[in-house]
Every structure is written in C-alpha cells, then in structure tokens.
Structure 1
Amino acid sequence: MKKNEKMAGLAFLLLLGGLGLAALFIALFTELAEEVIDKEVAQFDNFIINGMEARASETLDKVMFVFTEMGSVWFLTVLSLVVLGVLGFKMKDKWGALFFVIAVGGGSLLTVLLKNLYVRERPSINPDIDAIGYSFPSGHSMGSLIFYGFVIYLVIRTQHRPWIKWMTVALLSALIIMIGSSRIYLGAHFPSDVLGGYMAGLIWLILNLVALEWIQWHGRSSVPPVHALRKLLGPLYRTVRTKIPFFNK
C-alpha cells in the first residue's frame, strides 16, 4: 500500500473515531439530563458540595473567584478576539478561524438552548459571580471546555517542542477543571451542572474539530477517503475471513 493511502486511511479512521466518541458522550449527556430532570442526582451533588464547604476559607474564596472569571463571557470574548487575530492575521488559517467562531459562538447559543430546555433552578442566585438564569448545564464549564479545548487543539498542531505542547495541555486542562470546580464552590451550580457542561462542551468541540479536520484533509490530500479506508482495512478483512470459519459460509 502506498504511504499516502495508508496515512489517509488512518486519518479517516481517526475521524470516524471522533464521531463515535461524540456519539458516546451524547448518550452519556442524555442519561445525565434524564437523571437531573428526575432529581436522581441529589446524593451525588450533595456529597461534592459538602466536601467543598468543609474546605472553605476566605483565601480560597478569592482564588475561586479568579478562576470563575477566567471562564466568564467577557473574559473568553476578549481571549477569543486574540485567538482570531492570531489565526486570521498571523497564521492565515481561514478554516481554523471560521470553525473557532462556530465552536465558541455556536457553543454559547447551544448553552442557552439547553438551559431553557431543561429549566433547572440554581442552588443560589448571585449576580456578582454571574449566577443568574437557569442552572443546567453550566455555561462556564461548557464555554471554557470549548474555548480552551480548541486552544489545546491549535497548540498540538503547532511545531513547538513536545514538552511545550504537553505543558500547555496540562495547564489548560487543569484550568478547565478549576473553572468548573469554582462554580460549585461559589454556589453558582450543582456538580451535575458542571458535569453536564463538560459533556455538552466536549460533544460540540469534537464535532467542530472533526469537521475542521475533514475539510483540511480534503484540501491537502488527493486520496479519496473511502478508497483509502478500503485499502487500509482490506488486508485485515482478508485475514479475518481466512481465520474465522463463519465468514466462509
């Protein structure tokens, strides 16, 4: 098999894997949402909330407030303009810029749609920490995962040294977790809201990245995807057919 056909086949398998992963998280999110509606997550929520309340302090209050601001609409909007500037003017990546807008902007609209679909009241209302409106899923958690997750994707695709990439991935992943944790600690969301926000954000992010990779792949590869997949899986199919009697009936 030619090398470019093999690489194209592997790329196509990764894209299919991404769609499969998105489907898995859609099923998990649906299950969680049903449990939220049926109020079957109270024990889970209370366990985590009680644990955070036991560790509360004035210093931690200030730290968590900083983290929650890093997932706020105004903060992510400012950072989004910076990312768009880098993608559009420095990297000349028009597709990357377009799908970044779709991911972040569409994610915000999806958050509003889901909140009004499930209509869950918050544990507390506090405009000072942007805790107004409905609770499920957490907008901060969903938005931060989409935004910082897209940035992680962009960093991984760069030519930087591996240790820089992995350090960036670790730091941004920790930031995403801390933003969600801050929403629980500050009483803005239930833990199940944050978990739902992460799931919904991951689904939307994966779908956008799969679409972006598909378009970019078509732009740089002349190998038809189905042809590449058939070439890649052909030897495996012939081996299975030879070894397993069922396929020879």
Structure 2
Amino acid sequence: MKKSDKMAGLAFLLLIAGLGIAALFIVLFAELAEEVMEKEFGLFDRAIIGLMEAGSGSTMDNVMFIFTEMGSVWFLTVLSIIVLAVLGFKMKDKWGMLFFIIAVGGGSLLTVLLKNLYIRERPSINPDIDAIGYSFPSGHSMGSLIFYGFLIYLIIRTRQRSWIRWLFVAILTMLIVMIGSSRIYLGAHFPSDVLGGYIAGLIWLILSLIALEWIQWHSRSPVPPVHALRKLLGPLYRTVRAKLAFFTD
C-alpha cells in the first residue's frame, strides 16, 4: 500500500473516531439535562456553590468579574473579528474562516435554542454580569469553550516551538475553566449549568473541527477518502473473512 493511501486511511479513521466521541458526549449531555430537569443535581450544585462562597471576598469579586467579561458576548465578538482578520489576511485560510464563523456563530444560536428548550431559571438575575434569561446551559461556558477551543486548535496547527504551543494551550484551557467558575461564583449559574455548557460546547466544537478537517482533506489530498479507507481495511477484511471461513468449514 502506498504511504499516501495509508495516511489518508488513518486520517479517515480518526475522523470516524471523532464522530464517535461526539456521539458519546451527546448521550452524556442528554443524561445531564434529564437529571437537571428532574432536579437531581441539587446536592452537587449546593456543594460547589458552598465552596465558592467560602473563598469569596472583594478581591476575588473583582478577579471573577474580569474572567466573566472574558467570556461575554461583546468580548468574544471583538476577539472573533481579530481572529477572522488573521485567518483571512495573514494565513489566507478561507476554510478556517468559514468554519470559525460556523463554530462560534452556530454555537451562539445553539445556546439560545437549548436555553429555550430546557427553560431553567437562574440562581439570581443580575444584568451587570450578563445574568439574564434562562440558565441551562451556561452561555458563557459554552461560548468560551467553543471560541478558545478553536484557538487551541489553530495554535496546535502552527509551526511554533512545541513549548510555546503547549504554554498557550495550558493558558487558554485554564481561561475556559476560570470563565465557567466565575459564573458560579458570581451567582449567574448553577454548577450543572456550567458543566452542561462545557459538554454542549465541546460537542459543537468537535463537529465543527471534524467538518473543517474533512473539507481541507478533500481540497488538499489527491487520495479519495473512501478509496483510502477501503485500501487500508482491505487486508484486515480478507484476514477476518478467511478465519471465519476456516471455522465454519
């Protein structure tokens, strides 16, 4: 088998694995949402909120307010314009631009849809910290995971030194966690809202990146994906068939 065929076939298997992971997270989100609607997460929510309240203070209030603003609609919108400019003018990545818009814009629409589907009331209403509307899932948590998660994907694909890439990955991952934590601390969401936002955001991000990789593969690779997969799995299929024939004869 040619090396190009083998690499294309393996890439196809990775895409299939990504879809499988997304499917598992969909099931997990559905289970979480069902438990939330049946109010089975009350003990979990109270325990996390109690820990947050134990560490509260004026300095922590200011820190958490900064983090929550970094996941707000206006802040992510400004950063999105910058990212699109870099993708379009510097990197000349039209597919990256398109699927970034799909990921971030589609994620925002999905957040609204899910909130109006589950209609969970917030722990408190506070317009100053963008705590209005329904609570589940957390829009800040979902939006930040999609946006900063897409940035992580773009950073990993760059040719920067490995330690620089992983430093930025660690910083952005911590930022995602702190944005979700800030929503709990400031009383805008229950912990289960934040967990639901992370899971829903991860599902949408995975699907968006799989679609992006698929399109880029088609546009760059001379090897048709189905043909590559057939050639990769052909020897395995023939081996299994031969063994089955041996045991059935």
Q: Same fold (TM over 0.5)?
A: yes
**Where does residue 37 of structure 1 map in the other structure?**
37
User: Which residue identity does 2:150 align to in structure 1?
Assistant: F
Report the AA paired with residue 129 of structure 2.
I
Shift of 1:164: 1.0
Match of 2:13 in 1: 13
Aligned length: 248
State the match for 2:168 in structure 1: 168
- Coordinate RMSD, CA, aligned: 1.3
Aligned mates of 1:93, 1:62 — CA distance in 2: 38
- After TM superposition, give the deviation of residue 232 of structure 1 in Å: 1.7
Measured after TM superposition, the shift of residue 237 of structure 1 is 3.5
Structure 2 residues without counterparts, runs of 5 or longer: none
**TM-superposed deviation, 1:228:** 1.0
Instruction: Map residues 150-189 of structure 1 onto 2, 5 A cutoff.
Output: 150-189=150-189
What is the letter of the counterpart of residue 119 of structure 2?
V
Task: Compute the displacement of 1:233 (Å).
Answer: 2.2
Q: CA deviation at 1:239?
A: 4.3
Q: Residue 241 of structure 1 contacts residue 248 of structure 1 at CA under 8 Å; is this kept in 2?
A: no
Deviation at 1:241, TM superposition (A): 4.8
1:215 paired with 2:227, answer no
CA deviations 1:34-68 (Å, max 9, x no partner) are: 01111111011111111111111111111111100
Between the aligned partners of 2:217 and 2:94, the Cα distance in structure 1 is 14
Structural mapping, 1:1-249, within 5 Å: 1-241=1-241, 248-249=247-248
Cα shift readout 1:143-195 (whole Å, capped 9, x = no counterpart): 00000000111111111111111111111001000000000011000000000
Partners of 2:43 and 2:241 lie apart in 1 by 50
Distance, in Å, in 1 between the alignment partners of 2:218 and 2:164 is 29
The letter of the residue matching 1:94 is K
Report the Cα distance in structure 2 between the residues aligned to 1:247 and 1:131, rounded to whole angstroms.
66
Counterpart Cα distance in 1 of 2:24 and 2:7 = 26
Q: Within 1, Cα distance between the matches of 2:46 and 2:195?
A: 14
Percent identical residues: 79
**Counterparts of 1:150 and 1:235 in 2: how far apart (Å)?**
37
Q: Give the letter for the 2:118 counterpart.
A: Y
